Amino acid sequence: MRSYIVVGLGRFGTEAARRLCELGCEVLAMDRSSELVQGISANVTQAVVGDARDKEVLRALGAADFDCAIVAIGDSLGDSVLATMNLKELGVPYVVCKAHDETHRQVLIKLGADKVVIPEQEQACRLARNLSSPNVLDYIELSDAYGIIEVPAPASWIGKSLKDLNVRAKLGVNIIAVKQGRTVNVSPGADYAILPGDVMVVLGDTAALNAVQKL
């Protein structure tokens, strides 16, 4: 069972903590607000009132023993910087931080944060991508150049096997899964034949994914 410490119980931190616990993870949620801590106590493994700006508080909670820390103090650069520094110095293996803008993100990266997210920006980009490409059911950005899309199988693919389509050579993408209703076929074999209603989960660079959307 993977373990997480979530620092900051605003909307982002609260949702992350609850969801991780629902997925069967061990979650310690902490915030300086006793009201916020009380509000999530029934939905996580443990919830405590504490100040992550104080390294000794984190040490006493055994922060270094967790697999991952999520610093969800996005509104205060100073507070998130201190919390991130403390967690890295204590030896937490993987630290994910929420930032409120690009400057905040760059500061956290330089401090050693393993991953920094700007939720509003990422959600807006995802929405824009989906709205601008009506045939795309979902889009996940992996980097500035690469992403994953879920797209209904083009009509020209129906009845053909993945071997026949050879999309890696022809389009520069990889089909990493096929969804048929509630069933998900992860890493389908080369002999898999595309069926009507199949949703293709496709990995590739931006140009290649754009080409798939036009099929």
Mean pLDDT along residues 6-19: 95
Domain extent at residue 14: 3-117
Kindly state the tokens that stand for 168: 């890696």
Q: Comparing C-alpha atoms, which of 98, 65, 58, 92 is closest to residue 80?
A: 98
- Condensed to tens digits (0 to 9), the pLDDT of residues 31-61 reads 999 999 999 999 999 999 999 999 999 999 9
83, 117, 151 — which closes off a domain?
Answer: 117
Number of domains the chain contains: 2
pLDDT of residue 213: 85
Mean pLDDT along residues 65-79: 90
Q: What's the CATH number where 96 sits?
A: 3.40.50.720
Which residue type sits at 196? P
Angle between helices 102-110 and 77-89 (to 10 degrees): 20
Do 86 and 97 contact (CB within 8 A), yes or no?
no
Q: Within this chain, do residues 159 and 182 fall inside the same structural domain, yes or no?
A: yes
Do 49 and 30 contact (CB within 8 A), yes or no?
yes
Q: What's the CATH number where 209 sits?
A: 3.30.70.1450
Q: Comparing C-alpha atoms, which of 33, 32, 87, 94 is closest to residue 62?
A: 87
pLDDT of residue 74: 67
Q: Within this chain, do residues 40 and 90 fall inside the same structural domain, yes or no?
A: yes
Q: Within this chain, do residues 192 and 99 fall inside the same structural domain, yes or no?
A: no
Residue 16's pLDDT band, with cuts at 50, 70 and 90, is: very high
Q: Are strands 138-141 and 146-152 parallel, antiparallel or unpaired?
A: antiparallel
- Condensed to tens digits (0 to 9), the pLDDT of residues 75-117 reads 788 999 999 999 999 999 999 999 988 899 899 999 999 999 9
